[in-house]
Structure formats: structure tokens, C-alpha cells
């Protein structure tokens, strides 16, 4: 399993914030977009400061697992290709919250030749196998996802859900969003593949000063 490999790398290199995965600058990659298609030129000169401040709060890089974003699908959410995400590992029992930025392990049965082991999504809502899907869409509409008033998006939401449900049977599914060519797309993933929650972002062009909270 990829998670086991990450833990082994953390233990080997002794730094939770640096993965030692051989990507040039030592940070892991997470795909913003199709993990089998993303391409990123890594600048080995970019290294994040070990300590930094956001407002009056002080943080240490070693308290986090760091991912470098590969791809542009989350740019509408302000996360660009080459940005850094500081994450915390989450257990399978921990609840995923609305608007969490989540790092999802790529299912090897779906992407067996992926360049990235993980992909980035913005979480919406958890859906159990016995939940009423129409009720879940209504909750999302009340949260501001007004496109689900349109039949086209209801159909796409349902099609994506049914495809994931057919594969993952009784697993809880996490509905999330990504973007393609600037247009929002829904996606569904088994809760068991959600491994990290992103808490802090560092901009690639101002890595020492461009810190911001994602919570």
C-alpha cells in the first residue's frame, strides 16, 4: 500500500514534513487533475522554511506532511500548480467536513500507471449506501450548490455516484469537486482512500512568505 510506503519513508528520513520520495526537492506530489496525466517540472531549489507564522500563530514544517501540487484543476479554488500543501494524516474513522481539502490515495485498480500516488479534491458530503441521494443533493443546494437545481448537473451527479457505488458497494463515499477547463466537476471516492487533510498552503512563487490557512 502507498500509505505504508509513505510511513516507511517518514521513518527513514526522520521528517514528517519531507517525504524523501525522489521528486527532486524531497516533497511528495499530489495530482490536481487526472493523476495519470499530470506533468510537473519540479524546482529542486525550492525548500520551505522549517518555521513560519500565519498572523500571530507559529508553525513548524516538521509537524506536517508536505505535498507539492501537480496540475491546474484546483486553480479556481486558489490552489495552483506547484503550490505546497501542509497536511495531517486522518484516520478512516475521522469525519470529513464540508469544504475540507482532502488528499486521496489513487486506487491502483483505476490508475495502475499513475505518475502521482495521490489526488487533490475539495470535499462536499459523505454518502452512505443507505442514504437517499436526492436528500443529499438538496442539502448541497441549501449550501449554495445551485447548479444542482439543473437537470444536467443532477444527472451528472447521479451518474458519478452510481459508478462509484457500483465499485465500492457498501463503503461510505465522499462527494467532492474538482475542475476541468474551469468547469466544476463532481467526483466520488471511497472514504478508505482519503488519507490526509490539507491545512496550510504555501505559494510556489513566495514559498517563504506566502503561507495561508485552508481551514
Tell me the CB-side half-sphere exposure of residue 34, using CA atoms within 13 A. Answer: 8
Confidence of residue 5 (pLDDT cuts 50, 70, 90): very low
State the virtual CA torsion across 169, 171, 174, 175 in degrees, nearest 10.
20
The average pLDDT across 153-169 equals 96
Contact status, residue 187 vs residue 167, Cβ threshold 8 Å: no
Domain boundaries, the chain: 2-213
The tens digit of pLDDT for each residue in 49-74 reads 888 888 889 999 999 999 999 999 99
Confidence of residue 109 (pLDDT cuts 50, 70, 90): confident
The answer to whether residue 215 scores a pLDDT higher than 70 is yes
Amino acid at each position: 500500500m502507498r500509505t505504508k510506503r509513505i510511513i516507511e519513508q517518514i521513518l527513514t528520513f526522520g521528517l514528517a514534513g519531507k517525504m524523501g520520495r525522489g521528486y527532486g526537492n524531497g516533497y511528495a506530489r499530489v495530482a490536481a487533475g487526472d493523476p495519470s496525466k499530470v506533468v510537473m517540472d519540479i524546482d529542486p531549489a525550492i525548500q520551505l522554511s522549517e518555521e513560519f507564522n500565519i498572523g500571530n500563530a507559529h508553525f513548524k514544517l516538521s509537524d506536517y506532511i508536505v505535498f507539492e501540487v501537480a496540475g491546474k484543476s484546483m486553480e479556481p479554488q486558489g490552489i495552483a500548480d506547484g503550490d505546497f500543501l501542509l497536511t495531517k494524516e486522518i484516520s478512516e474513522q475521522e469525519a470529513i467536513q464540508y469544504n475540507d481539502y482532502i488528499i486521496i490515495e489513487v486506487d491502483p485498480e483505476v490508475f495502475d500507471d499513475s505518475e502521482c500516488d495521490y489526488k487533490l479534491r475539495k470535499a462536499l458530503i459523505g454518502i452512505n449506501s443507505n442514504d437517499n441521494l436526492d436528500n443529499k443533493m438538496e442539502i448541497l443546494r441549501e449550501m449554495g450548490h445551485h447548479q444542482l437545481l439543473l437537470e444536467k448537473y443532477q444527472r451528472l451527479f447521479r451518474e458519478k455516484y452510481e459508478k462509484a457505488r457500483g465499485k465500492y458497494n457498501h463503503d461510505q463515499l465522499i462527494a467532492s469537486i474538482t475542475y476541468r477547463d474551469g468547469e466544476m466537476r463532481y467526483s466520488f471516492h471511497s472514504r478508505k482512500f482519503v488519507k490526509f487533510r490539507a491545512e496550510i498552503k504555501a505559494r510556489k512563487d513566495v514559498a517563504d512568505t506566502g503561507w495561508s490557512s485552508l481551514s
